[in-house]
Structure 1
Amino acid sequence: MKIRVERDVLADAVQWVARSLPNRPSVPILAGLRLEAAGGDVVLSTFDYETSAKVTIPADVKDEGVALVSGRLLADIARSLPAKPVDLTSDDTKLEITCGSARFTLQLLPVAEYPDLPSMPASTGTITPDMFAQAVSQVVVAAGRDELLPVFTGVRLEIEGDTLSLLATDRYRMALKELPWNPAKRTDDAAALVPARVLSESSKSMTAGEKISLSLAGGDAGDGLIGFEGEGNNGVRQITTRLLDGEFPKVRHLMNVQPAVTVRANTSEVVAAVKRVALVAERNTSLRMMIAEDHITFEAATGDQAQAVEAVEATVVDETGNGLAMNAAGFNPHYLLDALNALDTPYVNFGFTAPGKPCLLTPLVEIDGEPSTDYKHVIMLMRLPQ
């Protein structure tokens, strides 16, 4: 193999592919990064039997060929190269990298032992990259981090006609986003449980093009596989990953909160107040929201050592007409900040039913407008001490 490629193009491609390398590969060969030069392109890829990443970049290919080298080492080298064209030449035992006066020699790994990457399934549909990236970022905040409970570390994708829904929960909060997309053809409704980490990486790294293609395998094409394809800054990127096993909990009904009390406030003002008051919140204790007729007050304390109180102007509505059904709510401050930061509107609408019951947060464009229905975030309230 003998190729020449622009330094920035190579560095960007190697950095992106190397992100998918396993930290502790089950077998040493999976630490490798595969380069294949053919035609006028070079394909860089990684695979760990669960997730594959592949990027195709333009190159001046003098001799076609395949090479497998240490992925993390190549990433470190590519990032450090001077701003000059890069020549890569390989023989049977080594890969030589030349850039200006800098020269590196890497030992080749046995490419014959490297597993074949899974094929990208046929496209199920496409979606606008910016819209998809925003939707994913709003939902993944509610996904779990505990690998011992893998079903909660995923995001459930539900396809129903020209609507794509994203749903995540870690049992203490839930997020649902519904958005339009372009199905490749009218088929039966489908659903898939995708690792949140892979979904987040895919959505953020494919925003340079006009669309992202989502490919969900079905039938004899190989169940349990989903793929994403889109444009990066310097080439076409593809990611495939195995779907998570297990049944996702039925939590959609928890989104249908019929509030007894609604509170509307400026999102940035609430975020700032919560951040300040939470500074003195004792670990694993709640941040208290006190609800009055025209404002809300946040309170937190660390025993007798520190206390904090801050009020924020709000529009409070008694939906029952029988007087405020509740005047205080307890939030996990981190969950509350995650939910508020996921909103993309100037105002937030809180929907409360009763103490200890779920609270629904929805976006508001105007303080006296109707809440958006395409994004819902539910937080389980914490019990307040008597």
Structure 2
Amino acid sequence: MKFTINKTELQNALSVVLKGVSTRSTLPVLSGIMLDASGDEVVLQSTDLEYSVKYILPALVDEPGKTVVPGKLFNDIVKNLADAAVCIQESDNTAHITCDTSSFSVRTLNYEDFPGFPHVETDSELEIPFIQFQDMVRRVSRVVSRDESRAILTGVLITLEEHVLRMVATDSYRLAITEIPMPDSAAEDFEAVILGNFLNEIAALPRNEGNVSIALAENQIVAKCGPVTFINRRIEGNYPNYKQLLPNTYTSRAQIDVKELAASVKRAALLSSSTAPMRFDLNIASQTTQITVSAPDVGTAQETIVCQIEGEDMQIAFNSSYVQDGLSAISGEKVYLEVQSDMKPGILRAEEPENYLYLIMPVRI
């Protein structure tokens, strides 16, 4: 095997494929990356037997062939090479890597032991413009649970109903919902719970004008974006009925400037901790929202924001980091804070046309 490839393109591909390399398997070959050179391209593959990645790159192939190189070492070498063409040649179980004045020889692994890339028969498929997909994942990914004991909450519920695409995530303390209209979608109704980390890997690809394709099999998810194909296990189980948490009304609603609120919350949070919740006082008479944090043995922080309030005077308290996460997902200028009572969830709702809702469970004052 012998081929020459652009260093930058190879490095970008390795940063994606390396995520599929196993770090804990007893099979040494799973710690490697398969290189398959033929025609005018090189296919890079990695897998940990649950998560698989394939990346196709253009290359000048002099001798077709396959080999498996140690994943992390190969990535470290390529990352530190000069910005020039990289030549990779494999012979006698050794990969020779040359670039400009640099030369490396790395022992390879037997490609015949490397698992074949899964061939998955899918039964439903959804296509989303990558830019919109990336923005939607960014809005909900922070809310995904890290608790493996409730596997269903480590995923994001993705649905397509009546030409509206929706992503929902919750960790049982907060809930994020974002949706976009998809009037031109050819897909039928679509529903799946997909691992949050898996969606983050796809969304971390360079921003592009193409589409992301997500297809479902019985127990797997197949995602494609440009030259990359990802395959991961599908999360089984029923997602919680989040709709029953969403209130139909509010007692008080404040319209607040997003940047001003985010800055005030960030400053007040300097004194906040799990034992010192952040209190919001909505005052109708003064048309202000006052943010207060009182930390025993530390001190007090207070911020006052002029805003538009309708309804009744209201007090409610939240975990400050949850508030910051919700505000960071809003790209518009205004946000609505909607409150029913101090013991019912509060809602941060983005201003139209941005369709984003963030529900937070209150902290007892």
The TM-score with structure 2 as length reference comes to: 0.94
Equivalent AA in structure 1 for residue 27 of structure 2 = V
Find the residue that maps to 1:283 and give its secondary structure.
Answer: coil
CA shift, 1:285, in A, is: 2.9
Q: Which residue in 1 is equivalent to 2:180?
A: 179
Q: Which residue in 2 is equivalent to 1:199?
A: 199
Residue in structure 2 matching 1:259, options 245, 250, 259? 250
Does structure 1 residue 305 correspond to structure 2 residue 306?
no
Does structure 1 residue 53 correspond to structure 2 residue 53?
yes
Q: Distance in 2 between matches of 1:186 and 1:199?
A: 20
Residue in structure 2 matching 1:278, options 269, 273, 276? 269
Q: Which residue in 1 is equivalent to 2:223?
A: 228
Equivalent AA in structure 2 for residue 374 of structure 1 = N
Q: Distance in 2 between matches of 1:73 and 1:5?
A: 18
Find the residue that maps to 1:96 and give its secondary structure.
Answer: strand
Q: Which residue in 1 is equivalent to 2:344?
A: 357
Find the residue that maps to 2:158 and give its secondary structure.
Answer: strand
Which sections of structure 2, spanning at least 5 residues, go unmatched? none
CA shift, 1:108, in A, is: 1.0
Equivalent AA in structure 1 for residue 349 of structure 2 = T
CA shift, 1:215, in A, is: 1.6
Q: Distance in 1 between matches of 2:9 and 2:297?
A: 57
Distance 1:206 1:8, change over 3 A: closer
**Structure 2 matches for 1:332-351, cutoff 5 A?**
332-351=319-338
**Structure 2 matches for 1:38-77, cutoff 5 A?**
38-77=38-77
* 1:121/1:226 contact within 8 Å kept: no
Q: Deviations over 1:207-245 (max 9, x none)?
A: 32422222222xxxxx121122113xxxx1111111112
Aligned residues: 362
CA shift, 1:5, in A, is: 0.5
* 1:262/1:350 contact within 8 Å kept: yes
Distance 1:18 1:244, change over 3 A: same
Q: Which residue in 1 is equivalent to 2:310?
A: 317
Find the residue that maps to 1:141 and give its secondary structure.
Answer: helix
- Select between 31-40 and 298-307 the one with higher mean Cα deviation: 298-307
Does structure 1 residue 381 correspond to structure 2 residue 362?
yes
Find the residue that maps to 2:136 and give its secondary structure.
Answer: helix
* 1:278/1:287 contact within 8 Å kept: yes
Q: Distance in 1 between matches of 2:169 and 2:275?
A: 23
Q: Distance in 1 between matches of 2:150 and 2:275?
A: 21
Q: Deviations over 1:150-187 (max 9, x none)?
A: 21111011122432211110000001112234787454
Q: Which residue in 2 is equivalent to 1:237?
A: 228
Q: Distance in 2 between matches of 1:161 and 1:207?
A: 27
Find the residue that maps to 2:204 and give its secondary structure.
Answer: helix
Residue in structure 1 matching 2:237, options 227, 234, 246? 246
Q: Distance in 1 between matches of 2:256 and 2:25?
A: 48
* 1:126/1:183 contact within 8 Å kept: no
Q: Distance in 1 between matches of 2:140 and 2:261?
A: 20
Q: Distance in 2 between matches of 1:376 and 1:206?
A: 26
Q: Deviations over 1:52-82 (max 9, x none)?
A: 1111110000111111011111110010011
Distance 1:180 1:52, change over 3 A: farther
- Select between 279-288 and 58-67 the one with higher mean Cα deviation: 279-288
Equivalent AA in structure 1 for residue 321 of structure 2 = H
* 1:120/1:215 contact within 8 Å kept: no
**Identical counterparts, % of pairs:** 27
Q: Distance in 2 between matches of 1:121 and 1:184?
A: 21
Q: Which residue in 1 is equivalent to 2:19?
A: 19
Equivalent AA in structure 2 for residue 315 of structure 1 = Q
Q: Distance in 2 between matches of 1:103 and 1:75?
A: 15
* 2:131/2:208 contact within 8 Å kept: no
Q: Which residue in 1 is equivalent to 2:130?
A: 129
Q: Distance in 2 between matches of 1:372 and 1:332?
A: 27
Distance 1:282 1:373, change over 3 A: closer
* 2:126/2:187 contact within 8 Å kept: no
Equivalent AA in structure 2 for residue 305 of structure 1 = V
CA RMSD, Structure 1 to Structure 2 (Å): 1.8
Q: Distance in 1 between matches of 2:228 and 2:240?
A: 32
Q: Distance in 2 between matches of 1:361 and 1:26?
A: 47
Q: Distance in 2 between matches of 1:210 and 1:121?
A: 23
CA shift, 1:6, in A, is: 1.1
* 1:206/1:212 contact within 8 Å kept: no
- Select between 237-246 and 173-182 the one with higher mean Cα deviation: 173-182
CA shift, 1:356, in A, is: 1.1
Q: Which residue in 1 is equivalent to 2:213?
A: 213
Distance 1:157 1:340, change over 3 A: same
The TM-score with structure 1 as length reference comes to: 0.89
- Select between 154-163 and 84-93 the one with higher mean Cα deviation: 154-163
* 2:159/2:191 contact within 8 Å kept: yes
**Structure 2 matches for 1:42-121, cutoff 5 A?**
42-119=42-119, 121=121
* 2:125/2:187 contact within 8 Å kept: no
* 1:158/1:190 contact within 8 Å kept: yes
Q: Which residue in 2 is equivalent to 1:9?
A: 9
* 2:252/2:314 contact within 8 Å kept: no
Distance 1:34 1:128, change over 3 A: same
